Amino acid sequence: PSRFHASIRVQMEDATATARVEIIKDLKDMTKDLLKAFYRATRHKPERIIFFRDGVSEGQFMAVRNREVSAIRLACQELSPNETYEPALTFIVVQKRHHTRFMPSSDRDGVGKCRNVPPGTTVDSVVTHPLDFDFFLCSHFGIQGTSRPA
């Protein structure tokens, strides 16, 4: 048995929708499946849930966050109808489609043939949004060309 679990659904595109919004349609039931699997494996409910999300354009952040965080919270409530169960929830949206690149301030700080910033480099000020909690992370070694942070 594995420590890790997955819940997979086929999500058909809505032909009647006027705009394409990347909301996970069955997230509440998927979350319930995963919470039950966690409980079976550990005999307790998670104190916190960290939810990584990809495929969300900047203009859809709020709509996706509102719907999907609500679905996760509802799953927690439905699993514990006789008690309050509200684990801490961190919702992280990863964006890869941008044109931001980072370079070391001196060649000796760069790594690899292309002298990229080292893996693990995190930028959380100056070039980030002044109000949103966002950051850039170069999580891996750049094999070809300039590394693109997520």
Give yes or no: residues 87 and 77 share one domain: yes
pTM: 0.76
High-pLDDT (> 90) share of the chain, %: 33
Give yes or no: residues 75 and 5 share one domain: yes
Residue 37 is predicted with a pLDDT of: 94
Residue 72 is predicted with a pLDDT of: 97
Write the CATH number for 28: 3.30.420.10
Give yes or no: residues 129 and 63 share one domain: no
Distance, CA of 19 to chain centre: 22
- 27-47: pLDDT as tens digits: 999 999 999 999 999 999 999
Give yes or no: residues 125 and 85 share one domain: no
What are the residues facing 91 on neighbouring strands?
Answer: 51
Higher pLDDT among residues 19 and 125, named by residue: 125
Q: How many structural domains is the chain composed of? A: 2
Give yes or no: residues 68 and 12 share one domain: yes
The DSSP-derived string for 55-85 is S--GGGHHHHHHHHHHHHHHHHHHH-TTS--
State the Cα–Cα distance between residues 85 and 46, nearest whole angstrom.
10
State the Cα–Cα distance between residues 140 and 118, nearest whole angstrom.
8
Quote the domain boundaries for residue 120: 97-150
